[in-house]
Structure 1
Amino acid sequence: MSETALPDPDEIDHEHPDVTGGWLRPAVFGAMDGLVSNFALIMGVVGGSNADDTKPIVLAGLAGLAAGSFSMAAGEYTSVASQSEFALAQVEIERDEILANKRGETAELAAMFVEKGVDEETARDMAAQIHEDPEKAVRVHAREEFGVDVDDLASPMLAAVSSFLAFAFGAMIPLLPYLLGVESPWLAIALSLVGLFACGAVVTRLTARSWMFGGVRQLLLGGTAAGLTYLVGEAVGRSLA
């Protein structure tokens, strides 16, 4: 193979993790939100209610699961839809500029390529070839100028459904023992702490931290939130007794 020949892509054997988080980040953080919020809610009700009556705990847990899941779904749908609509609006502005001022936009794209290290003559040729197809030029400008891939915009419905399911899954963990008839809170506490550690450990796939650090950190944070809420519930329960 000559020195100037490009390598065969099949010979390049290295991979990087999905640094943007992909599906993993929203799924894990949605489950973590559900787990922490419902764990704390349930512990607050445990602290302020009669230990022999688990009905208020189950009711609060189910209400927290439903309210949190629907809230997360609605929030994610609105957020992703608004972001996509804003991105498409910017793309339309860019399309109008390209159609109205092809020469200026071609020069702008060439300058971007030069900034990336391409020599000036090659950059001009690349920009001219891209602008032969206006739609291709719109896609390239959108990606280069404001980081939008018009063919890969996030789906609001997918974001909403994913958030709903992830939150519901996390919220179900501290509630499950009570639904199975276990009256003692200790199983719910144990499952919740294990879930917190697992979520924290999985999140470290997106960072440079060790899984042990991430797991212990999330366990401490979530456990502290639940413990403090228990104390609040206990204090309120006493005041209402």
Structure 2
Amino acid sequence: MTEQHSAPEIHHEHRDVNGGWLRPAVFGAMDGLVSNFALIAGVAGGQAGHKIVVLAGLAGLAAGAFSMAAGEYISVASQSELAEAEIEIERRELDRNPLAEREELAMLYEARGLSRELSEQVAEVLSRDPREALEIHSREELGVVPGELPSPVLAAVSSFLAFSVGATLPVLPYLLGADSLVPSAVLAVLGLFGAGALVSRVTARSWWFSGLRQLAFGAAAAAITYGVGALIGTNGL
């Protein structure tokens, strides 16, 4: 009877940890919710009228969303430009000194535990295709892959939309006619905890820990600004 061997099954999948949209989207939503709720709490703490609170909330939403988008675009674009410049240096070195680059790759694999002979064989095979060689060198030496750098536009748009969504929550009750901070605070608390719990889906933390951590930071920021607003409003400054 012939023994049959089957390929081993893969029973797990890894989450995407290099996406160009995830970090700015998460950060933008958190920042929008925390900063605008704190702003509204500070203005409301100073006994400002309904229209002033709404104006402050909408102004904070617009200013924050555009600021976040611009900041993310510049940050990601600068990072990508730096990576592209370094990749270009690596490309020129592969054209000018292919043997030296192959030796460099062999030394890298040898340092990781392969024998000298096997390291040279691996480096020789990987260096046959210039595009593959560039990708290997860029990944090993720079930690990036040519053609897979984060998109500045995607980061900016994700940040803008996420900040807008987060910043809308605390001002929404006032837009619907609320005249006190209580409805805004309730919605902000739910949003903070929910956003923190949602983040746990892409981290190793439990949903309740992530939710409570985000709630604690957001509540602390709002409490401080409310106190500042109340102090200034009381003193008539």
Q: TM-score, normalised by structure 2?
A: 0.91
- 2:20/2:155 contact within 8 Å kept: no
- Could you tell me which of 147, 166, 173 is aligned with 2:162? 166
Q: Which residue of 2 aligns with 1:29?
A: 27
2:43 aligned to which of 38, 42, 45: 45
Shift in alpha-carbon separation, 1:102–1:125, aligned structure 2, 3 A: same
Structure 2 contact 24–72 (Cα < 8 Å) conserved: no
1:236 to 228, 232, 235: 232
Does 1:54 pair with 2:50? yes
Query: What is the aligned counterpart of 1:183 among 176, 179, 185?
Result: 179
Structure 2 equivalent of residue 196 of structure 1:
192
Q: Which amino acid aligns with 2:196?
A: G
- Pick from 126, 137, 144: which aligns with 1:141? 137
After alignment, is 131-140 or 223-232 more displaced?
131-140
* CA deviation vs aligned residue, 1:87-110 (integer Å, no higher than 9, x gap): 010011111111111111101111
Please report how far the alpha carbon of residue 18 of structure 1 lies from its aligned counterpart in structure 2 after TM superposition.
3.0
Uncovered stretches (5+) of structure 2, i.e. residues with no partner: none
Instruction: Give the drift of 1:32.
Output: 0.6
**Corresponding letter in the other structure for 2:99:** R
Sequence identity (%) = 56
- Specify the alignment match of 1:14 in structure 2: 12
**Count of paired positions:** 236
Structure 2 distance, partners of 1:106, 1:193, is 57
In structure 2, which of residues 111, 115, 139 is the aligned counterpart of residue 115 of structure 1? 111
TM-score norm. by structure 1 comes to 0.90
Out of 80, 85, 96, the position equivalent to 2:92 is: 96
Distance (Å, rounded) in 1 between the aligned partners of 2:201 and 2:167: 22
Aligned equivalents of 1:22, 1:156: Cα separation in 2: 8
Superposition RMSD on alpha carbons, in Å? 2.1
Distance (Å, rounded) in 1 between the aligned partners of 2:203 and 2:147: 28
The answer on 1:211 being equivalent to 2:192 is no
Matched-pair contact (CA < 8 Å) for 2:20–2:150: no
Distance 2:107 2:134 in 1: 16
Distance 1:205 1:18 in 2: 12
Q: C-alpha distance in 2, partners of 1:189/1:144?
A: 48
Q: Find the aligned partners of 1:105 and 1:66 in 2 and give their Cα distance.
A: 50
Contact 2:102 2:127 in 1 (8 A): yes
* Residues 123-152 of structure 1 deviation map (CA, whole Å, 9 limit, x = unaligned): 212212222222321111011111011121
Q: CA deviation at 1:202?
A: 2.0
Amino acid at match of 1:228: I
Shift in Å, 1:15:
1.5
Letter in 2 for 1:95: R
Distance 1:2 1:160, change over 3 A: farther
- Residue 128 of structure 1 aligns with an amino acid whose one-letter code is E
Provide Cα deviations, 1:1-47, integer angstroms capped at 9, x if missing partner. 989x8936xx3121133345764433222101000000000001101
Amino acid of the structure 1 residue aligned with 2:7 = P
Runs of at least 5 residues in structure 1 that lack an aligned partner in the other structure? none
Query: Which deviates further from its counterpart, 122-131 or 148-157?
Result: 122-131
Change (3 A) 1:113 1:2: farther
